[in-house]
Amino acid sequence: MLLPYFTEQDDTLIRQGAVRDYLGLQSVWSSVARQLEPNLSGQVSNIQGIKAVGLIYHIMNNNKNFDDKMEENSGLFFRYMEGLFEYYLVHEMKQKPCYGARAITGDKQSLEINLNAGTVVMGLYQYYRGTCRRAGMINDDWTLDNKLESIYQALIPNDIEIKKLMDSFKGLMKKENKTFSPFEIMKDKDIKSLFNCVFSGSDSSISKYLDGVFYKDTSLRVYASYCSEVVNSENEGAVGSKAFQIHNKLKYHQPDYPRLDAMQNFLNCEPFLCLLDDLFHSLLNAETLKVFGESVVIQEEAVTDKARAFIRLEQVNNTEFSSARFKELYQLAHMIVGKHWGDFAVTLFQYHEQLMLVRKLGPVAVIEDGKVVSLQDIGRDEDEEILERIKSSDIWNNGYYIYSTASIYSQIQKELKGSAK
């Protein structure tokens, strides 16, 4: 039997926040989604955050004030800049934060950010930075792409703003307590001017660059535009999941669209992943393999239909779909189709137990002598609710970056239209 890590360590299985994904399915659906969204993550929804990452690396890599001592504190500088940026976004621009709303709530004048806190903001560092690297905006040596670097140099031609910003950070480093008031920093008109130049939207040069980077592949531009249309529409009569609606819209309006098969992979994958999660919880409800094998849940025809649809991915010419993890899931799907429910249950729980071990956590439940022994109370639905979900193909647990794709595309196009007026 194959188990995580399979042949190599997979950091997506043990990253912070993954603990609620009891079967490690996030890395599965994300690999399917990457065929149509190669850059964004589910937490990336604001182009201002992408601009902020670019600004931070522009300063760190090109400013003489960033000396060796500052280099030692580069992580803190990133968090310092992130705190300032999120404050500016919420309290100066009156926009929603990119991430970490709790760190910047309250009265703007009395608000303080503590860089020693474990969850200061950090959304830019964890998520937006990865998007910038995948898109080629940041090189392997953490320098900016030359074209993007030239844009920041044109937007910030003077050193005085950055020097004042660096001086404010150096002053903070002298304190043992590393707590600062973003309001006091932003009172400096030169520092505020620096942020205005990059984030106000009056200059579209970064948006034009992002449009070229994210949508240089015409087929990805088409996909992003359809995501935007479907997500932002108010069609109350729309049927099916967002992915189903996007697929049908592409199929009708773009019958020769070269990535329809990739879109179909979404539709074959997600219902099965939802099914696995539901069957996992149904096993917890059953408490014994005998009861599970006789439950109405597994008698539902949609159970085998969803497993068969997932098995079709075995025929897709994509190295990701022949990975060890997918082979494990195909094994589970074939057990479902063959109605080998005892083997299925044991294999599923062994998979779960090994996954939790990798995370250095205990399993939610184990199977002992045909009994399902719960070790943690995770909360679960009754079988009647599980059965209703299984009967539907419209209920999705995972987003496949569709909302991120729609959001970023819409914002870029809005800024470009605004600059054309």
Is residue 73's pLDDT more than 80?
no
Mean pLDDT computed over 212-217: 96
Mean pLDDT computed over 205-216: 96
Is residue 347's pLDDT more than 70?
yes
Condensed to tens digits (0 to 9), the pLDDT of residues 325-342 reads: 899 999 999 999 999 999
Condensed to tens digits (0 to 9), the pLDDT of residues 14-51 reads: 333 334 688 999 889 999 999 999 999 999 999 999 99
Is residue 4's pLDDT more than 50?
no
| The pLDDT value given to residue 194 | 94
pTM of the predicted protein model: 0.88
3-state secondary structure the chain: CCCCCCCCCCHHHCCCCCCCCCCCCHHHHHHHHCCCCCCCCCCCCCHHHHHHHHHHHHHHHHCCCCCHHHHHCHHHHHHHHHHHHHHHHHHHCCCCCCCCHHHHCCCCCCCCEECCCCCCCCHHHHHHHHHHHHCCCECCCCCECHHHHHHHHHHCCCCHHHHHHHHHHHHHHCCCCCEECHHHHHCCHHHHHHHHHHHCCCCCHHHHHHHHHHCCCHHHHHHHHHHHHHHHCCCCCCCCCHHHHHHHHHHHHCCCCCCHHHHHHHHHHHHHHHHHHHHHHHHHHHCEHHHHHCCHHHHCHHHHHHHHHHHHHHHCCCHHHHCHHHHHHHHHHHHHHCCCHHHHHHHHHHHHHHHHHHCCCCCCEEEECCEEEECCCCCCCCHHHHHHHHHCCCCCCCCCCHHHHHHHHHHHHHHHHHHHC
Is residue 151's pLDDT more than 70?
yes
| The pLDDT value given to residue 6 | 31
Condensed to tens digits (0 to 9), the pLDDT of residues 108-139 reads: 898 888 877 654 456 898 899 999 999 999 99
